[in-house]
Amino acid sequence: MKTNFSFRRQRGFFSLPNDNIVKTIGVATLLCLLCSVIVSGAATLLKPKQVANKLLDKKSNILSVAGISDESKSIDELFSQIEARVVDMKTGEFTDAVDATSFDQRKAANDAQYRVPLSKQQDLASVGAISKFGNVYLVRDGENVSKIILPISGYGLWSTMYGFLALESDGRTVSSITFYEHGETPGLGAEIENKKWQASWNGKQITDDSGVPVLRLVKGGIDLSAAGSEYKVDGLAGATLTSNGVSNLIQFWMGDDAFGPYLERVRSGKTQAKTQVKASTFNNGEKS
Ligand SMILES: Cc1cc2nc3c(=O)[nH]c(=O)nc-3n(C[C@H](O)[C@H](O)[C@H](O)COP(=O)(O)O)c2cc1C
């Protein structure tokens, strides 16, 4: 009885004239419901693929800054040459307190368990807080570490810029830099993605002889033959504010409040690079 009644009511609803206000609102509501089910269903179904793609993207950025490429091999195959480690930012020592293959310092900076808020004076890169543990990716040449890759981030003009910096095994010579996420203006601040400009970082020195991070971007171009040019990179034309952001983030991440203690250990030979975690098992901390 009840079913017949509601069926009759439904039939009644659909047989209402099209310009009836109840029918218009009812049909619009039904359409909204249908669309939201389709959109949320698609989002749920695509989530694992999105996570996997994000991870592949991260790996390919690390490979790119490491200078590792081979079109005949998959990203995962190539990434097996990289060793993921985690350092305690305060002591600069490697730690096993977290799983190096899944730990993500960017996420951890927002996790109360790892978050270390920065004072205004400390926060040169305007990131607010960092994780007490940092990701380090080591490229090996047999037994020896040939490159050290560190995640970097900092505020430009409009956005937080995220990238990776690769250093030579001396812990102070730049091998390469890349930025993979930012919201700076195309043609101005977004030139941090320019490969030619990024190549100009090669061979620059992050720190002076006493270990203080001094590398910075200079407006108006640099004279490569002048003394001290190894500590200077060309600023981006028309984008001094983004350039200042890049200088600041280098000062911060290479300094005492971030990777400084670790790099100091590298420079003084205190960090032996024992193979611990093969990056082939590297994941994003997401449950598969
Ligand atoms: C629409 C617009 C977008 C801009 N985007 C950037 C940017 O992404 N990065 C930046 O440093 N400056 C940007 N600027 C320019 C800055 O306002 C500022 O003028 C510039 O950083 C000064 O650099 P300069 O001294 O090299 O000319 C933008 C300006 C405008 C009007």
3-state secondary structure at position 78: helix
Task: Give 249 Cα–ligand 1 centroid separation in angstroms.
Answer: 18
Alpha helices in 15-87 (DSSP H): 21-66, 75-79
- The arithmetic mean of pLDDT across residues 153-182, rounded, is 97
Closest approach atom of ligand 1 to CA 184: 8
Task: Give 275 Cα–ligand 1 centroid separation in angstroms.
Answer: 45
- The arithmetic mean of pLDDT across residues 207-218, rounded, is 94
How far apart CA 118 and CA 129 sit, in angstroms, is 5
State the pLDDT at residue 123.
Answer: 98
Q: Taking Cα atoms as reference points, which of 82, 145, 87 lies closest to residue 274?
A: 145
State the pLDDT at residue 287.
Answer: 36
How far apart CA 57 and CA 49 sit, in angstroms, is 12
Q: How far are the Cα atoms of 65, 94, 279 from residue 172, in angstroms, in the given order?
A: 16, 18, 24
Residue 202 has pLDDT above 90, yes or no: yes
**Model confidence pLDDT, tens digit, residues 118-139:** 999 999 999 999 999 999 999 9
258 close to ligand 1 (CB < 6 Angstrom): no
184 close to ligand 1 (CB < 6 Angstrom): yes
Q: Which residue has the higher pLDDT, 110 or 50?
A: 110
Output DSSP code: residue 236. P
157 close to ligand 1 (CB < 6 Angstrom): yes
- Tokens representing 288 are 């598969």
State the pLDDT at residue 274.
Answer: 44
Which residues touch 49 (CB under 8 Å, ≥6 apart)? Answer: none
Which residues touch 206 (CB under 8 Å, ≥6 apart)? Answer: 167, 172, 173, 174, 213, 214, 215, 250, 254, 263
Task: Give 188 Cα–ligand 1 centroid separation in angstroms.
Answer: 7
**Model confidence pLDDT, tens digit, residues 19-46:** 889 889 999 999 999 999 999 999 899 8
Block residue for tokens 């203690």? 261
Closest approach atom of ligand 1 to CA 235: 26
State the pLDDT at residue 198.
Answer: 97
**How is the chain split into domains, by residue range?**
52-281
